Amino acid sequence: MGKFDHDLLLGIDIGGTAIKAGLFSHAGDLMAQRSISTPALVESGAYAAVNQALTALLAEQGFLRSDIAGIGIDIPGPVREDGSVGFLPNIRLDVEGLKASLAMAFARAVIVVLNDANAATFGELWQGSAKGERSFVFVTLGTGVGGGVVVDGKLVLGKHGAGGEIGHITVNPHETRACGCGRLGCLEEYASATGLVRLYHEACERAGAEARDTSEGAVAVFQALADGDEAARLALSQMCEYLAVAFAHMSCIIDPGAFVIGGGVSASFDVFADELAERFRAHALPMCAETKIVRASLGNKAGIYGSAYQALLATAAEE
C-alpha cells in the first residue's frame, strides 16, 4: 500500500434522479465509480442507502471508510460562500441531514458542499481541459448558457454572486425580445441550445424556407447542417459570432488562459470550433488572439471530479 492510501477522496454528484459517486486518489485518478439510485434524500433510510453504496464502492477496491480524507458533494442549486445552501427548486434534498449522516460514517473526512456548475468547472481545472491553467472560463452551452470563471485557481463568485453569469453578457444591443432575466440581447439568447434553435427558425423564415422539426432541440439543427441546410449554417455562424464577441470582452478584462466549452451543444464542438476560433481572432486584442478554445473533456463526470477536488482543497487547508 502506498503513501496516500489514507488520503482518498469521494466526489458525489447529486442530480434530479440519481447520484453519481467517484473514488479518487490524492493525485486525481478516478479509481472507481458507481451510480446510486435513492429515494428523496430527506430521511435516515435514504442516507443509510448512500453510506452503504459508498462503503461497497470502497470495499470493492480494498479500502475502508477510514481511508477517506475528504468528501465533496455537488448539488443542483446555490451554495453560499459559508457553505450554506439556498433554495433548491428541482430536487428533494436535506443537505444538512445527508452531511451529518456522512460525517458519522466517515469520521475522518472533511465534507464540503458546492454548486454543480462550480463543481464541473473545478473538475475541468483539476483533470480536464483546463488542467495546468491558472485562469480559465468554463462555458456551458445547454438549455441556457452558464459559466464558471476561475482566476488564479479560484472560482470568482463575485460581490453579489453574479460572477460567471456569462450567459447574461449583452452581445446584441438591437434585440427586441427579452431574455429570461428581463434584459435584451443576452448571450444566452443565441448560444444556448434553445437559442440556436430559435436562430435556425428565424433564418428559415427570412429565407422563406420550411424549418425542420426541432422538437429534439439543437441536435436537429446540427443534423440539418450536416445535410447542407443553409439556414442551419447561418444560425450556427450567428451563434459563433456572439460567443466570439463575449469571449473577446472576457479577454480584455481577465485574459483567461482558455475557454472550455461544455454542455449539450458541445457534443458538436468539432463542427463549429474553427469558425468560433476565427471569429474570436477577429474580435480579440491581438495579444489574446491565440487563446485556447477547447471542448470540456470530462463530460458528465466533471461533477464528481470537481467535488473531489474541492474536498482535496479543504483537506489541504486543514493541514
3-state class of 145 per DSSP? strand
Does the protein bind a copy of itself through residue 169 (CB under 8 A)? yes
Q: How many residues bind a copy of itself (CB under 8 A)?
A: 41
Does the protein bind a copy of itself through residue 132 (CB under 8 A)? no
Per-residue cell: 163: 460572477
CA distance linking residue 176 with residue 37, whole number of Å: 44
* Residue 12 to residues 19, 34, 153, 255, 310, Cα–Cα distance (Å): 7, 10, 21, 32, 11
From residue 246 to residue 275, the character string flagging contacts with a copy of itself as x (rule: CB under 8 A) and all else as - is --xxxxxxxxxx------------------
Rg (CA), the chain: 21
Nearer to a copy of itself, 250 or 277 (CB): 250
Does the protein bind a copy of itself through residue 39 (CB under 8 A)? no
- DSSP H/E element including 223: helix 218-226
Does the protein bind a copy of itself through residue 178 (CB under 8 A)? no
Given the C-alpha cell 443553409, which residue does it identify? 230
Does the protein bind a copy of itself through residue 180 (CB under 8 A)? no
Closest CA to 19 of 64, 74, 78, 100: 74
Nearer to a copy of itself, 101 or 291 (CB): 291
Residue 143: CB atoms within 10 Å: 16
Answer positive or negative: Cα dihedral of 162, 166, 169, 175: negative
Among 108, 161, 271, 278, binds a copy of itself (CB under 8 A): 161
Among 36, 49, 156, 273, binds a copy of itself (CB under 8 A): 156
Q: Is residue 207 a contact partner of residue 240, using CB atoms and an 8 Å limit?
A: no
From residue 188 to residue 227, the character string flagging contacts with a copy of itself as x (rule: CB under 8 A) and all else as - is ----------------------------------------
Does the protein bind a copy of itself through residue 130 (CB under 8 A)? no
- Residues that bind a copy of itself in the complex, under the rule CB under 8 A: 133, 135, 149, 151-152, 154, 156-166, 168-170, 173, 181-183, 245, 248-257, 283, 285-288, 291
